Amino acid sequence: MAFSAAASTGSGSGPALAEINITPLVDVMLVLLVIFMVTAPMLSRPLQLSLPQSSDQVSPLKPRQLDLAVAADGSLRLDDRPIAAAELQRQLEEAASADPDTLLRIRAAGDADYQQLVAALALARNSGLMQIGLAR
């Protein structure tokens, strides 16, 4: 597509011819056409999902929670009751076997011995509890 325009220049040399080169425009349009042809089939592909089945049972909102306190003198308290290390091991094993999602929060006094805290963590881990947290 070309057009000519009669425009006078200052020198009076005659009409100037102007052409619009549409070759780059056609090149860009063909590239866009190829891109759309390649990406269009990808947009309509179905997504394969395996969704879990719903159940009619109501799941408990909060798992069972135990609080273990390590005092500065090394004594242990489970849910605000004094407890010996051997008894603590047994109680934690029972809790882990009854409900695997039982949460144990260990709270140590600010001046408690770290060795006592590590021993309490080891007892909790050896009892089979998987959810163990430290609290302030």
- pLDDT: which is higher, 85 or 25: 25
CA nearest to 103, candidates 72, 81, 134? 134
**Mean pLDDT across 68-76:** 89
- Average pLDDT of the segment spanning 42-68: 78
- Domains identified in the chain and CATH numbers: 65-135 (3.30.420.270)
The 10s digit of each residue's pLDDT in 110-130 is 888 888 888 888 988 888 888
User: Sign of the CA dihedral 63, 69, 75, 80?
Assistant: negative
For residue 52, what pLDDT is reported?
Answer: 84
The Cα–Cα gap between 54 and 38 comes to 39
Please tell me the predicted confidence (pLDDT) of residue 12: 59
Residue 2, pLDDT above cutoff 70 = no
pTM score, whole prediction: 0.52
Backbone angles phi, psi at 67, to 5 degrees: -115, 125
pLDDT for position 29:
97
Q: 77: which 2 tokens? A: 């308290």
In tens, the pLDDT along 74-112 reads 889 999 899 988 898 899 899 888 888 889 999 988 888
Contacts within 8 Å (CB) and 24+ apart, 27-35: none
Q: Sorting pLDDT into bands at 50, 70 and 90, what band is 11? A: low
